[in-house]
Chains A and B, each alone.
Chain A
Amino acid sequence: MSVLIFIDHTDGHVKKTSLEALSYGAKVAAQTGNAAEGILLGTVADDLTLLGKYGIKKINRVNNEILNHLDPQLIADVLAEVVKQTGAKIIVFPNNVTGKAIAPILSAKLKAGLVSGVVSLPDTSNGFIVRKSVFSGKAFANVSINTEIKIISLNPNSYQIQEPGGTAEIVSLDIPVGASKIKALSTSKSSGDIPLSEAEIVVSGGRGLKGPENWGMIEELAKLLGAATACSRPVADEHWRPHNEHVGQTGLAIAPNLYIAIGISGAIQHLAGVNRSKTIVVINKDPEAPFFKAANYGIVGDAFEVVPKIIQAVKQLKGAQ
């Protein structure tokens, strides 16, 4: 029996969300008396033996370029075979774009119970119960997985990466890969260096910033803090910012360590996507803005005066470090 962790990668590099999944999977394995193994499909530049440091002794590979491309059916077919060969009983995915595409198909193929959006370790004292985020971050559900094979998809930024140390043995699996029915025509990278879903700090702007021409200070602050940028829905609707920056109930749900909201009122639908952030800072000129109720730190003031001063102070801090 083993815990199998899906290792996602883009542009030849393993994603941070996968390191979280590896750390989580290693812990689940220890907790249930199993071995933890990774599975990496496709080709990467990274030295995979180093992934051992997250507590993983063995990484299985299917070294086939076709698998670099996201064809969920094809990948799930290969994974179903890997599950069979490794005898895995618990399969962990990062609940990122890739995980959301593949995990459900694997669930159908194996008739294995799937819980996605998991935020903490399972309770295995009586059955197998995982905690997941529901109602767009406004609540949690404790869900029992009743099948022998269980699939968990772990929310980004929910489990701290652990590095107990060690190296992993790499095992190549020989599994035939079919032909893809999904043909790629073109790709475009999103702006910003740090993917929003993985960012530890997010600087976000709302309609209070008046127009796209005023985003310079948002981007500057983000850059100084190594943060990603986000926005409220009307800002994306009015095309001030790209739609993939839109967070909230109908946008991306994020859980960074620090969320800085500038000129955002804090409507319930916006909060739904950001209320899992560990610390929230709100800058708004209206003391009655609902966002202050969800904030840890706040400044009641005009963003156009406050933000440049914050930038100044951060520059001083970084200069002093």
Chain B
Amino acid sequence: MKILVCISKTPDTTAKIAFKDNNTKFAAEGVQWIINPYDEWYALVRAIELKEKDPSTTLHLVTVATADADPVVRKALALGGDEAIRVNADSHDCYYVAAQIAEVAKQNSYDLIFTGKETIDYNGSSVGGIIAGLLNMTYISLATKFELNGTTATVTREIEGGEETVQAALPVVVSCQKGVAEQRIPNMKGIMGARTKPLKIMEPVAIDMLTSVVSFDLPQAKAGVKLIPADNPAELVRLLHEEAKLI
């Protein structure tokens, strides 16, 4: 069994979101980077569990990022995995990232590729599907449970209005969300071990940029809260009805 987990770095969830260079770039100065929560808590942990069950499993991590992602990749390796591959490029757009990962995948023919549900900075929810499209692999999105039985995957996934349990033969690409696994904290042994695990650097292949960010902006600030006395909640209902016209 060969598993690839796609890992992205994202600003810490409490990081201040600001832009520079005429609002064309994220102001990353002083920002703490973390592993994208969906990749860490669900995709990676589930892959580690599968390897714990079947130790003959090869588990690779891949990220498309410049060298400033290395600490985040080491942290991911401290949780588990045999080696990490970093494709040395900025993550320009989702097609670019997916195409780089598809190249890596072609060289190793993985049975299983896990991504997170989405990155919490770009919110594309797209990279996994594009990888599947490029490699013509079965794609199961928004998984909430994942089981493996030989070469058959049984996956519960979100569908419109509910959940569905499906079965598919490997190889598959699966995007993971809450339910697939439980968050883990790396232990000392893992952290020490991660230092000696290989982190391979690959140069990117040439891929066209299908989309490009022109500028960023921030939402308008709220005007301020209108407080209603606690002993008169009916006034809130009146305001929502007459002023906001929402109910």
Taking beta carbons and an 8 Å cutoff, which residues of A are in contact with B?
8, 10-11, 15, 70, 72-73, 76, 95-98, 100-109, 111-117, 129, 132-147, 181-190, 195, 201, 225, 236, 243-244, 246, 249-251, 253, 257-258, 268-269, 272, 275-276, 279-282, 292-302, 305-307, 309-310, 312-314, 316-317
Contact = CB atoms under 8 A, between A and B. Distances in A.
Contacts of A280: 222
Interface in B200-232: 208-219, 222-223, 225-230
Nearest to A320: B241
16 contacts: A10-B160, A73-B136, A76-B133, A101-B129, A101-B141, A114-B95, A116-B124, A116-B125, A134-B121, A144-B212, A182-B138, A182-B140, A182-B168, A188-B164, A251-B178, A297-B244
Given A250-B178, A297-B226, A116 B126 contact: yes
Nearest to B235: A313
A102 B159 CA distance: 12
B162 A189 contact: yes
Interface in B134-160: 134, 136-142, 144, 154, 158-160
Contacts of B223: 296
Contact of A103 (B37, B126, B228, B241): B126
B245 to A, nearest CB: 10
B169 interface: yes
Interface string B8-25: 000101100101000000
Contacts of A306: 230, 233
Contacts of A145: 210-211
B120 A136 contact: yes
Given A108-B95, A249-B13, A296-B244, A73 B139 contact: yes
Interface of B: 11, 13-14, 17, 19, 37-38, 41, 93-95, 98, 120-134, 136-142, 144, 154, 158-169, 178-179, 208-219, 222-223, 225-230, 233-234, 236-241, 244, 246-247
A281 B140 CA distance: 37
Interface class of chain B by DSSP:
mixed
B227 A243 contact: no
A313 B139 CA distance: 49
A137 B168 CA distance: 34
B129 A134 contact: no
A114 B178 CA distance: 25
Contacts of B213: 141-144
B210 A113 contact: yes
B119 to A, nearest CB: 9
A105 B131 CA distance: 8
A253 B132 CA distance: 25
B224 to A, nearest CB: 9
B64 to A, nearest CB: 16
A81 B132 CA distance: 18
B247 A113 contact: no
B138 A293 contact: no
A144 B165 contact: no
B168 to A, nearest CB: 5
B159 A105 contact: no
Interface centre among B126, B158, B178, B239 (most CB of A within 10 A): B126
Given A282-B225, A297-B239, 19 more contacts: A72-B132, A95-B125, A101-B139, A104-B129, A105-B129, A107-B129, A108-B129, A112-B210, A116-B123, A116-B124, A117-B124, A135-B120, A143-B214, A182-B140, A183-B168, A186-B165, A243-B178, A281-B240, A297-B225
